[in-house]
Amino acid sequence: MVKIAMKTPLVEMDGDEMTRIIWKMIKDELLLPFIDLKTEYYDLGLEYRNETDDKVTTEASEAIKKYGVGVKCATITPNAARVKEYNLKEMWKSPNGTIRAILDGTVFRSPIIVDSIEPFVRTWKKPITIARHAYGDVYKNVEIKVEGKGTAELVFTSENGEVEKQVIHTFDGPGVLQGMHNTNKSIESFARACFNFALDRKEDLWFASKDTISKKYDHTFKDIFEEIFEEEYKVKFDEAGIEFFYTLIDDAVARVVKSEGGFIWACKNYDGDVMSDMVATAFGSLAMMTSVLVSPEGFYEYEAAHGTVQRHYYNHLKGKETSTNSMATLFAWTGALRKRGELDNIPELITFADKLDKASIQTIEEGVMTKDLASLSSIKDIKVVNTEDFIKEIRTRLEAAL
Ligand code: NAP
Ligand code: MG
């Protein structure tokens, strides 16, 4: 068989622990035999990040800006225990945080749906993608614990010294205070990333906030979304046959639960934090959740939503058999390859990514799955397989499809 040729390299970011093991298995079994894989490799494994004073993460992010598409393995975000375990020079920052700061993107998370694993919400038939604004609000706030009587004010001093002041509250006893912000620039990027993603997926976009209560703060989010939509996207949405829909956050929650799915739900930072965990759990498993970072300039970075599956890795190191689910990591690869195929006009690469997705879903739907899914599936005769055999089972079905 002739291998599929690629034109532009993918930015490949290797990672840590069990997902690093899976990464290699996916490449060896499911990609390299079929594709003349072109990647620019960056080792984001913690050891090499430490060796390069984390410069490798910045270089990888710059490479995504150069080539447009990256695929990332899960990585360790160091804490005190990791500093000791890996003898680190410093408690390096989260690679995802660094990449997000450089690309200025929005994170979209979608579940992988398979027949035999039913969402806890009976009406959900299609994936619901959460788009979380990843800047500001309560995540960049300042807080004061008020100890007693006094007056709290909100003060803004402009560049040329003009002062705008409002009384927040006159305290007659102890209480709490919080100040938060966002910027039009960040909200505009968020809105464009959501509109572009909806067009890419040909799915409706929902956005919700609490503009009836927050008449300036949340209302600004609403206004920015509506202005950008009218000016830049309305025609494109009409052509694609999709809709943009704004409602209040409490109304959105009620509608989401009663919906069939199949849309993108754009959330403010806090709402996205809370709702993405709710949606992921309701769809079944973190191991079946994919994630893509989309920048306003249209750069894409694909990854799994889960971490490095540390507990499984330690078992693996002890020589024990593991049954780690590789679906989300595999879908990160197929997402990136498909996008590369679209950008470089390589239909064979797009078809390959589609067939590989299908083969992996078919494997689970035929009852062959890793341990984490076995307890969720409604299939009677389940064959629980180990990490490696699951990938081999996918390969058998992929070869049949090719
Ligand atoms: P985790 O790796 O997501 O795993 C948490 C638990 O979820 C696992 O112990 C396992 O449960 C289950 N699980 C997750 N993915 C699975 C899979 N593919 N197959 C089967 N089971 C799976 O989270 P963590 O253990 O809290 O974090 C480990 C490391 O990952 C940390 O150092 C953290 O910094 C990093 N992390 C990285 C990213 C990222 O790069 N995007 C995201 C989150 C965390 P059982 O043990 O019960 O089988
Ligand atoms: Mg959270």
Confidence of residue 229 (pLDDT cuts 50, 70, 90): very high
Tokens of 117: 């694993």
Q: Where is 334: in which H helix or E strand? A: helix 327-344
DSSP assignment string, 69-122: EEEE-------HHHHHHTT-SS-PPPHHHHHHHHHT-EEEEEEPP-TTS--SST
Please report which confidence band the pLDDT of residue 117 belongs to, taking 50, 70 and 90 as the band edges: confident
User: What is the chain's mean pLDDT, rounded?
Assistant: 95
Q: Looking at residue 277, what is its pLDDT?
A: 82
Instruction: Return the ligand 1 atom nearest residue 303 CA.
Output: 41
pLDDT for 1 beyond 80:
no
- Average pLDDT estimate for 101-130: 89
Q: What is the pLDDT of residue 99?
A: 92
pTM of structure: 0.89
The residue to which tokens 């992988």 are assigned: 112
* pLDDT single digits (tens) 124-137: 999 999 999 988 89
Q: DSSP H helical segments within 104-247, as ranges? A: 184-201, 217-228, 234-240
CB atoms within 10 A of CB 389: 15
Taking the C-alpha atoms of residue 302 and residue 94, their distance in angstroms, rounded to an integer, is: 16
**DSSP 8-state class, residue 231:** I
Binding residues for Mn(2+): 250, 273
* Confidence band, pLDDT 50/70/90 cuts, at residue 175: very high
**Pick from 67-76, 165-174, 218-227, 281-290: least confident:** 281-290
Confidence of residue 97 (pLDDT cuts 50, 70, 90): confident
204 C-alpha vs ligand 1 centroid, how far in Å?
Answer: 31
Q: Atom of ligand 1 at shortest distance to CA of 309?
A: 2
What percentage of the chain carries pLDDT values higher than 90? 86
Atom of ligand 1 at shortest distance to CA of 306?
Answer: 3
CA dist 315 to 84, 286, 319, 387, Å?
Answer: 20, 20, 6, 12
103: confidence class by pLDDT, cuts 50, 70, 90: confident
Residue 399 has pLDDT above 90, yes or no: yes
CB of 247 closer than 6 A to ligand 1? Answer: no
Per-residue pLDDT, 164: 97
Asked whether the beta carbons of 320 and 298 are under 8 A apart, the reply is no
d(CA 197, CA 152): 41
Those residues with Cβ within 8 angstroms of residue 49's Cβ, 6 or more apart along the chain or in another chain: 56, 57, 75, 92, 95
Report whether pLDDT(78) > 90.
Answer: yes
Ligand 1 centroid vs 280 CA: distance in angstroms? 14
From residue 42, alpha-carbon distances to 13, 82, 316 in Å are: 5, 21, 24
Looking at residue 253, what is its pLDDT?
95
E-strand stretches of 251-384: 263-267, 289-294, 300-304, 368-369, 383-384
- Residue to mutate, 76, 91, 93, 306, ligand 1, most ligand atoms under 8 Å from C-beta: 306
pLDDT value at residue 246: 97
| Residue 289, pLDDT above cutoff 80 | yes
204 CB-contact burial (10 Å; exposed 0-12 / middle 13-18 / buried 19+): middle
Residue located nearest, by CA, to atom 33 of ligand 1? 76
Cβ neighbours of residue 223 closer than 8 Å, sequence gap 6 or more: none
Query: Are the C-beta atoms of 13 and 72 separated by less than 8 Å?
Result: yes
Q: Indicate the pLDDT class of residue 372, thresholds 50, 70 and 90.
A: very high
- Write out the residues surrounding ion ligand 2, Cβ under 5 A: 273
Residue with tokens 């003060």: 155
Q: Ligand 1 center to residue 305 CA distance, Å?
A: 9
Kindly tell me if the per-residue pLDDT of 286 is higher than 90: no
End-to-end CA gap in the chain: 10
* Token representation of residue 86: 């890996």
Q: What pLDDT is attached to residue 396?
A: 98
What does the pLDDT read at residue 104?
A: 77
pLDDT in tens, 309-325: 999 999 999 999 999 99
Q: Which residue, among 235, 247, 325, 342, has the nearest Cα to 288 in the 3D structure? A: 325
Q: pLDDT confidence of 187, banded at 50, 70, 90?
A: very high
Q: Which atom of ligand 1 has the smallest separation from the CA of 95?
A: 40
Q: Is 14 in the pocket of ligand 1 (CB under 6 A)?
A: no
Mean pLDDT of 21-40: 98
Beta bridge partners of 151: 170
Q: Does ligand 1 come within 6 angstroms of the Cβ of 310?
A: yes
Tell me the average pLDDT across 291-296: 88
Q: 233-246 burial by CB neighbour count: b if 16+ within 10 A, else e? A: beeebeeeebebeb
> Given 3-state DSSP classes, what are the helix, strand and coil percentages for the chain, each rounded to the nearest 5?
45, 20, 30
Q: What average pLDDT does range 253-270 have in this prediction?
A: 95
* Stretch 340-365: mean pLDDT: 97
Q: Is 357 in the pocket of ligand 1 (CB under 6 A)?
A: no
